[in-house]
Structure 1
Amino acid sequence: MPALTTYDAVIVGGGHNGLVAAAYLAGAGRSVLVLERRRATGGAAVSARPFAGVDARLSRYSYLVSLLPDKIVGDLGLRFSVRRRSVSSYTPHGDGGLLVGKGRTRASLAGLTGGDAEYVAWEQFYGTTARVAERVFPTLTEPLPTRAELRERVDDEGAWRMLFEEPIGAAVERRFAHDLVRGVVLTDALIGTFADAHDPSLLQNRCFLYHVIGGGTGSWDVPVGGMGALTDALASAARAAGAEIRTRHEAVRVETGAAGAEVTYRTGDREDTVGARHVLVNASPRELAALVGDAPPPPAEGAQFKVNMVLSRLPRLRDASVDPRDAFAGTLHVAEGYEALGAAYREASAGRLPSAPPSEIYCHTLTDPSILGPEEATAGLQTLTLFGLHTPARLFARDNEAARERLLAATLAQLDERLAEPLADCLARDAEGRPCVEAKTPLDLERELGLPGGHIFHRDLSFPWADRSDGPGGPDAVPGRWGVETAHPRVLLCGAGAVRGGGVSGVPGHNAAMAVLGR
């Protein structure tokens, strides 16, 4: 038999982390093959035109950028940029609301609470998280620190206790008095994470940490050109460096040995095998286990509801003091008061869709209209992206389609309560005359993207230190120097399920490449 073609690295999965790893490794002179089962690279970080006849290139699954280090953009010479949103958030409250940003935070909080105490608490709280962000974020692209080393780096015992040792709900309740303010703060602990504010596992703290440290500032920015602009730039960088990318090629098996590995892939009805000195798996820990023949990890479960829309115009708000262009430019919180979030969690835990589904919404085109075609831009079309919370995959197991429709109706009804006109009157229509709305449950995301249980982080997030329990193999695994190592010396996990994974960051891809290069 002819000798196998062998690469220095075979990367399973062409999502953004796999492309980051490919670009780094090929740029270092290594031979690299990327195998992607879908017809295009990008994974969940893609743009698409989901509505027939409407030229709006939506960031379909992942929306905003915070965790992508400037280091990766600079190292790889990416032609990619982000824009800061003009407003951080707006939260309707009766006929008024809370606007954070544009120099109006203090007055808005005072109008809500009748004094300055909540503003002072706000400034102190986010001053603390900003200092932690400055110290923790740079460690994400360094070898894993120990818990003690990270604690020393944070160098603030009060902040350490608040974020790493006690449930975040304790800090929220201790520092803030108003229900709406408490809810706005807590939402960062619940994005894609099904947990209570006082969960003793601190799952909500891990989620909160990753949402406030991005870029060393915690800012969540808009990708210019849509999320697909990032993965297109990464694919171009990888190819320019010499990486070979094959789409419609699905890896089905990885066999390892002391000197290397063999990767078998399927394209059409044909199977082929290549050799690899290292295999980097840009997929979930569940998929990694299936490829190498290990026992599967504990089940993962996503808990988010995603809705993409195109509007003919922005709707008017009940709160006439706020311009809709400000309200929708940042994150618009719906049904996300502190008690409302707790009620939604309890209902979902009991097996029921939340009666008042919490969600947050933003309009990409107010910050970056380049994703619209010329006719759509001239007509004033706008996009809306909605992310729903506390909707675990189990709620859709019996009848995904029916549950999706019920949840969509209830979610949009909650938004309508905050508007001065029905959202339906503002929806654009596609070429067939249908409203431009698409909704995705966790089970839809599992089917379309291979996310286990629809979990957008592939598994529960981990704290960013070298704790044995945080390894991709579970409590008995050692995360290794970079947090990407597995029980198989020649196989690395470079997807969101790696330690310091989750979100659109490229960090696991960078760290897996560094592990291969021996730095």
Structure 2
Amino acid sequence: MNSIPAGRTTSGDIPADRSDYDVVIVGGGHNGLTAAAYLARAGLSVAVLERLDHTGGAAVSARAFPGRPTRLSRYSYLVSLLPDQVLRDLGLDLRLAPRVTASYTPVVRDGVPGGLLVEKPEGPATAASFRAVTGTGAEYEAWREFYAAVGEVAAVVAPTLTAPLPREAELRSRVGAEIWKDLVRRPLGEAIERRFADDTVRGVVATDALIGTFASLREGSLIQNRCFLYHLIGNGTGEWHVPVGGMGAVTDALAAAAAGAGAQLVTGAEVTSIRPDDDGAEVRVAGRVLRARYVLANVAPWVLAGLLGETPDPSDKPVGAQLKVNILLDRLPRLRSGADPRVAFAGTLHLGEGYDELETAHAQAAAGRVPARMPGEVYCHSLTDPTILGDVAEGTHTLTYFGLHLPATLFDDAATRGQRKAEALERAIASLDEHLLDPISSVVARDAAGAACIEAKIPQDIEADLNMPGGHIFHGDLAWPWAEDDADLGDPAARWGVATNHPAVLLCGSGARRGGAVSGLGGHNAARAVLESV
């Protein structure tokens, strides 16, 4: 479904009398739109080519259930890394609403249901919850100490995200040696195990390292550390927000800014090749050949390699690792712990994400099995933003489930894919029902045909819908948001972390050095590199 109001920001076919542009952007996701807005505002001629019939990429809102007006954030669902600077620079008509609850983790201790509550901001109820769950105040003190140190790192790193890449030594010199070692030098699991004693607390900390990232917390590659860092540094606070109007409101605002500045936004325009030369590059699209001084690739590096005529190594293809489930409810279910559902579901509700459970699930998935006890997280965006619901009965709410440790390799066999997907969904729902007085089946809404309003997407579905290879939501493993001390930063593309092997072709999506999540950073930084070069 088109998330952009018809005729407002899309412009149909490529103009017949136009074949030369300063910049052609391949892919109309949020990063491509960000780059287009910056470049067009600077006076450059810009065309954005999107293969789908709408712009927005993964950041769209859509009616997922027939006969139901609610517009869900179907793929991406929260915003943290989008810099306030980008909002100001582009004058975006967008409101990001804070969540009153950071997280709630239902637990059962000695047969008694309870839960660990983390408020936003933290207050007496948070401290009391830690004491009730862990039996001591020590875990909360450790929690506060750890996140204060993480906050110091965030305050140093966040301002650099919209500037040329700093070198690692520069950042390392500005933060404490212990927290740098914990986050950057050693597997994150070591710090979690050393700093915290309670399994539930350990798990709540650990989950930010595993969103869309298939790794053990003790993984030597440190991909879990990089994922953790990105989840905690947004605007220096790491706070996650709900965009009012859904994720489509983010890309609607960016598309309006780009089109308003004069960028040409073309949908239904699938690029089939990019051919760099000494004077720029040729882009083949819809039987046409366009010339550009620069081509910005708002596609995964794996996809870009194919467009450039290269043959990517199959072993290098990204592997996504998640189950995304969208649910519409007639009412919020009651929890066995007695917690107010309007509080518990307002933030991140952790399920099966104790520290040992996370490691066990990873080991099972690595062995080729759907985890017996599914780790995942649930969000109710309509508690923060009821505008997405539309004209519905009172009490109606959305739920979003994001499951961890479900790599695409589990679903590679087409003969068993449907069965395994159903198994994963069943276990995801069971992990929630375990803590509810009202099972999901008793409160789920029904669509116009009477079917349960539940939509599930495994990595293969994400790849099919959005052309994200392997269904990897970051287009590949995240990189550190800085340059190595010996890196060559001699040209603008390298300084901004958007370089490819071709001077006229730059990365501008999640595959850029500081890409990943709904941040606009790939687009901002590619635009800055172009503007330094022209």
TM over 0.5: yes
Superposition pairs for residues 58-207 of structure 1, below 5 Å? 58-94=72-108, 95-101=113-119, 103=123, 104-152=125-173, 154-207=174-227
CA shift for structure 1 position 295: 3.9
CA shift for structure 1 position 211: 0.5
Selected match of 2:250 from 216, 230, 241: 230
CA shift for structure 1 position 465: 1.4
The answer as to whether partners of 2:211 and 2:227 remain within 8 angstroms in 1 is: yes
Matched, 1:364 2:381: yes
Q: What is aligned with 1:448?
A: 465
Q: What is aligned with 2:309?
A: 293
Q: What is aligned with 1:274?
A: 290
Selected match of 2:405 from 390, 393, 404: 390
Deviations 1:185-242 (A, max 9, x none): 0000000000001101101000000001111101111111100001011111100000
Q: What is aligned with 1:312?
A: 330
The answer as to whether partners of 1:147 and 1:465 remain within 8 angstroms in 2 is: yes
Q: What is aligned with 1:404?
A: 421
Superposition pairs for residues 323-338 of structure 1, below 5 Å? 323-338=340-355
Rate the CA distance shift 1:3–1:98 in 2: closer, same or farther, 3 A.
closer
Superposition pairs for residues 426-437 of structure 1, below 5 Å? 426-437=443-454
Selected match of 2:484 from 459, 467, 475: 467
Rate the CA distance shift 1:404–1:470 in 2: closer, same or farther, 3 A.
farther
The answer as to whether partners of 1:183 and 1:337 remain within 8 angstroms in 2 is: yes
Selected match of 1:416 from 425, 433, 437: 433
The answer as to whether partners of 1:19 and 1:235 remain within 8 angstroms in 2 is: yes
The answer as to whether partners of 1:466 and 1:479 remain within 8 angstroms in 2 is: no
State, as a whole percentage, how many aligned pairs show the same letter: 57
CA shift for structure 1 position 155: 2.5
Rate the CA distance shift 1:491–1:115 in 2: closer, same or farther, 3 A.
same
TM, length-normalised to structure 1:
0.95
Superposition pairs for residues 507-518 of structure 1, below 5 Å? 507-518=521-532
Deviations 1:61-116 (A, max 9, x none): 00000000000011001000111101000000110010101621110000011111
The answer as to whether partners of 2:209 and 2:227 remain within 8 angstroms in 1 is: yes
Matched, 1:248 2:263: no
Rate the CA distance shift 1:432–1:395 in 2: closer, same or farther, 3 A.
same
CA shift for structure 1 position 21: 0.2
Q: What is aligned with 1:485?
A: 499
CA shift for structure 1 position 479: 7.1
CA shift for structure 1 position 3: 9.7
CA shift for structure 1 position 400: 2.1
Matches of 1:202 and 1:257, distance apart in 2? 37
Matches of 1:3 and 1:309, distance apart in 2? 47
CA shift for structure 1 position 345: 0.3
Secondary structure of residue in 2 paired with 1:389:
strand
Secondary structure of residue in 1 paired with 2:101:
coil
Matches of 2:227 and 2:530, distance apart in 1? 28
The answer as to whether partners of 1:468 and 1:479 remain within 8 angstroms in 2 is: no
| Matched residue type, 1:506 | G
Larger displacement relative to structure 2 (18-27 or 284-293): 284-293
The answer as to whether partners of 1:186 and 1:338 remain within 8 angstroms in 2 is: yes
The answer as to whether partners of 1:467 and 1:479 remain within 8 angstroms in 2 is: no
The answer as to whether partners of 1:400 and 1:443 remain within 8 angstroms in 2 is: no
CA shift for structure 1 position 316: 0.6
| Matched residue type, 2:318 | A
Q: What is aligned with 2:3?
A: none
Matches of 1:510 and 1:128, distance apart in 2? 28
Matches of 2:68 and 2:520, distance apart in 1? 31
Deviations 1:390-416 (A, max 9, x none): 000000111322211111011101111
| Matched residue type, 1:101 | E
CA shift for structure 1 position 294: 2.7
Task: Provide the alpha-carbon RMSD of the alignment.
Answer: 1.7
Matches of 1:367 and 1:3, distance apart in 2? 47
Secondary structure of residue in 1 paired with 2:422:
helix
Matched, 1:439 2:459: no
Structure 2: gaps (5+ residues): 1-15
TM, length-normalised to structure 2:
0.92
CA shift for structure 1 position 470: 9.9
Matches of 1:371 and 1:123, distance apart in 2? 34
Q: What is aligned with 2:13?
A: none
Matches of 1:425 and 1:127, distance apart in 2? 42
Matches of 1:48 and 1:313, distance apart in 2? 21
| Matched residue type, 2:97 | R
The answer as to whether partners of 1:172 and 1:186 remain within 8 angstroms in 2 is: yes
Larger displacement relative to structure 2 (292-301 or 114-123): 292-301
Matched, 1:49 2:26: no
Matches of 2:396 and 2:158, distance apart in 1? 37
Stretches (4+) displaced over 3 A = 467-471
Q: What is aligned with 1:341?
A: 358
Secondary structure of residue in 1 paired with 2:49:
strand
Rate the CA distance shift 1:478–1:205 in 2: closer, same or farther, 3 A.
farther
Superposition pairs for residues 259-270 of structure 1, below 5 Å? 259-266=279-286
Selected match of 2:300 from 284, 288, 304: 284
The answer as to whether partners of 2:492 and 2:532 remain within 8 angstroms in 1 is: no
